[in-house]
A and B are shown apart, each in its own frame.
Chain A
Amino acid sequence: MKPKKNITSVLEIKDLRKNFGDNHVLNGFSLQLFEGENLVVMGKSGSGKSVMIKCLVGLMQADSGSIRIKGQDITILGQIELDLLRTEIGFLFQGSALYDSMTVRENLEFPLRRHKDKLNMTGHTEALVIEALQNVGLAHAIDLMPSELSGGMQRRVALARALILKPKIILYDEPTTGLDPITSKEIIELMRSIQKKYGTSSLIITHDVDCARVISNRIILLVDGINYAEGTYHELSQSNDPQVKAFFKH
């Protein structure tokens, strides 16, 4: 996939730092996500990828640094402004995080009921839910409980829920972890088709090289809490740096 060179930055992190006691997880990490771009952040387990993405949506407070989403610095936003901004961001959790006491329909209706009016969304709730489920090929599972779905189906429903408010930015936290290779490919294809259909910008956290190869416009390698290397898949896979090689040589 060719990298897009749109100038508008929809998300920008500058010099992000986060420590847990003596454990320095992020040591000045920075990135820019451009409109319509698929940016992959790769790193070993425990390298701080998930911490970074949680800081991005305000689930964790960074120790220092700035995070600007669509021009707004989220570190200084009040709760109401932050909640409103969050409606413009879709988040796919590593473990899907579906509400297990609700059906698939109720899971998708949950964000919709709360924000439909605020976002001036047209159409009936039911129609929007069905549309989102059709996008992930699971319209038939609308009345099932999350426990009745396979891991891959749960991930798709979670993706449908992330998309229901038609966000412009989607954050994926390890979207293929725990899935078999075939289901992983299906999820990756789904992510690509959604990006094409809605023109979303995606930040994908993963250590799955195949996922990064297929979907990325650009890759940032996160090592020791900093941007260790940056480039396209092709550029990084040709690198002679031992740390980079360790990721890309099978």
Chain B
Amino acid sequence: MTRSLRIVERTKAFFTEIGDLSYFSGRFFKEVFTRPFEFQELLRQCYNMGNRSLLLVGVTGFILGLVFTLQSRPTLMEFGAESWMPSMVGISIVREIGPVITALICAGRIGSGIGAELGSMRVTEQIDAMEVSGTNPFKYLVVTRITATTLMLPILIIFGDAIALFGSAIVENLKGAVSYQLYFNQVFDAIKYSDIIPATVKSFFFGYAIGLVGCYKGYYCKKGTAGVGEASNSAVVYTSMLLFVIDFIAVFLADIFFEI
């Protein structure tokens, strides 16, 4: 096969995948509002995804705030602008770094988990068994997981942001003798609704993307253990790319609506 033919094939496969993913997304919206509602399974998924990701998000957020502040301090000190540290860190974390880093961590933790779980269920015919028993597996497995990630990610991001700011406050307190009260007063003075609203809105989309791609890859997993591995791996890769695309669009739109 010549190089140009390979490029054509890959481009075709890429757009086919985008089309399939869009159809999968459309099916989600069609089924999420129709009965029966799987509330029990939704709550179980929310607990699994939210509660079990807290530690990872917390630790990462804490280190992020710590390192960010430590590395920014010398540069700000050069300009005598260390008093701007709380507002700079606060805005950066709330607007951009917190949501993106937390979403990427969740893509790895939750997205790959969903891909592997559904992929394994597909390979071992558990999804077929569910369908044969008269249960809609899309509704039970996919709708609940996508809804859970969409609802849980904003909460995880808020939690991660809070821990990151706390990590930053510790550094400021130890290195710059800034009290916690002063630090957080400056942070909250600097943060505006135009920072919080776009960040919160995009975090719902981040959650949706993580659930959607993980479920899509797992639900249509190819046969065999290699298929499960591929589903899990590609769920993370595709989600990560999608997160940056969503982030770009969100920043672009926020710039239009809020003039940030």
Residues of A that sit less than 8 Å from B by CB: 54, 57-59, 79, 83-84, 86-87, 89, 91, 93-95, 97-101, 110-111, 114-115, 161, 165
Residues from chain B with Cβ under 8 Å of A101 in the complex: 117
Q: How far is the CA of A79 from the CA of B134 in the complex (A)?
A: 9
Instruction: Give the bracket for the number of chain B residues in contact with chain A.
Output: 10 to 19
Residues of A within 8 A of B120 (CB): 100
Contact of A83 among B121, B124, B129, B134 (CB under 8 A): B134
Residue B189 at the chain A interface, CB threshold 8 Å: no
Contact bitstring B129-144, A, C-beta under 8 A = 1, else 0? 1111111100000000
Contact of B126 with A by CB under 8 A: yes
Q: How many Å from the CB of B7 to the closest CB on chain A?
A: 25
**Cβ contact within 8 Å between A99 and B126:** yes
Q: Once bound together, how far apart are the Cα atoms of A94 and B126, in whole Å?
A: 11
* B96, CB-defined interface residue at 8 Å: no
A152 to chain B, nearest CB (A): 17
Contact A100 B124 (CB under 8 A): yes
Chain B residues lying within 8 Å of A98, measured Cβ to Cβ, are 126, 129
Residue among A58, A89, A97, A100 with most chain B CB within 10 A: A97
- CB <8 Å contact, A110 and B135: yes
B128 at the interface (CB under 8 A from A): yes
Residue of B117, B124, B130, B133 most packed against chain A (CB within 10 A): B133
Any chain A CB within 8 A of the CB of B125? yes
Q: Which residue of B lies closest to A171 (CB)?
A: B132
Q: Are B135 and A114 in contact (CB under 8 A)?
A: yes
**Distance in angstroms between the alpha carbons of A91 and B31 in the assembled complex:** 26
Cα distance A209–B126 in the bound complex, in angstroms: 28
Measured in the bound complex, the distance between the Cα atoms of B129 and A94 in whole Å is 11
With a cutoff of 8 Å between Cβ atoms, the chain A residues found around residue B125 in the complex are 93-95, 97
**A93 near B134 (CB under 8 angstroms)?**
no
* Contact status A95-B124, CB under 8 Å: yes
User: B133: which A residues are within 8 A, CB to CB?
Assistant: 86-87, 91, 110-111, 114, 161, 165
Q: Are B135 and A97 in contact (CB under 8 A)?
A: no
- The answer to whether A59 and B131 touch across the interface, beta carbons within 8 angstroms, is yes
Interface of chain B, main secondary structure = helix
A87 contacts B134, CB within 8 Å? Answer: yes
One of A58, A91, A114, A115 near B129 (C-beta < 8 A): A91
Contacts of A165 in B (CB 8 A): 133
Are A100 and B126 interface neighbours, CB within 8 A? yes
Q: Could you tell me the distance between the alpha carbons of A161 and B135 in the complex, rounded to whole angstroms?
A: 14
Within 8 A of A (CB), among B19-54: none
Known: A97-B129, A99-B129. A114 touches B134 (CB 8 A): yes
Alpha-carbon separation in the docked complex, A114 to B134 (Å): 8
**Which 7 residue pairs of A and B lie closest in terms of their CB atoms, listed nearest first?**
A97-B129, A97-B125, A83-B134, A111-B133, A86-B134, A91-B132, A87-B134
Nearest to A60 among chain B residues (CB) is B128
Complex CA gap A35/B184 in Å reads: 76
Cα-based distance from A101 to B121 in the complex (angstroms)? 10
Which residues 103-133 of B have a CB within 8 angstroms of A? 117, 120-121, 124-126, 128-133
Q: Given known contacts A95-B124, A95-B125, A100-B126, is B134 in contact with A59 (CB within 8 Å)? A: no
CA distance A110 to B188 in the complex (A): 49
A205 to B130, CA, bound (A): 20
Within the assembled complex, what's the spacing in Å between the Cα atoms of A115 and B36?
Answer: 12
Residue of B nearest to A101 (CB): B117
Report chain A residues within 8 Å CB of B124: 95, 97, 100
Distance A93 CA – B129 CA, assembled complex (angstroms): 8
Q: How does the 8 Å CB contact mask read for B200-234 relative to A, with 1 for contact and 0 for none?
A: 00000000000000000000000000000000000
Q: A97-B125, A100-B124 known; A84 and B134 CB under 8 Å?
A: yes
- Write out the residue numbers on chain B whose beta carbons fall within 8 Å of the beta carbon of A110: 130, 133, 135
Interface pairs (12), CB distance under 8 Å = A58-B131, A79-B136, A86-B134, A87-B134, A89-B132, A91-B133, A94-B125, A95-B125, A97-B129, A100-B126, A114-B134, A115-B134
| Chain B residue nearest in CB terms to A54 | B128
Determine the distance from Cα of A114 to Cα of B132 in the docked complex, in whole angstroms. 13
A97 to B66, CA, bound (A): 48
For residue B135, which residues in chain A have a CB less than 8 angstroms away from its CB? Answer: 83, 110-111, 114
User: Which single residue of chain B is at the shortest CB-CB distance from A115?
Assistant: B134
Residues of B within 8 Å of A114, CB to CB, are 133-135
Could you tell me the distance in whole angstroms from the C-beta of A98 to the nearest C-beta in chain B? Answer: 7
Q: How far is the CB of B178 from chain A (nearest CB, A)?
A: 48
Shortest CB-to-CB span from B250 to chain A, Å, is 34
**Distance to closest chain B CB from A145 (angstroms):** 14
> Whole-angstrom distance from the CB of B49 to the nearest CB of chain A?
14
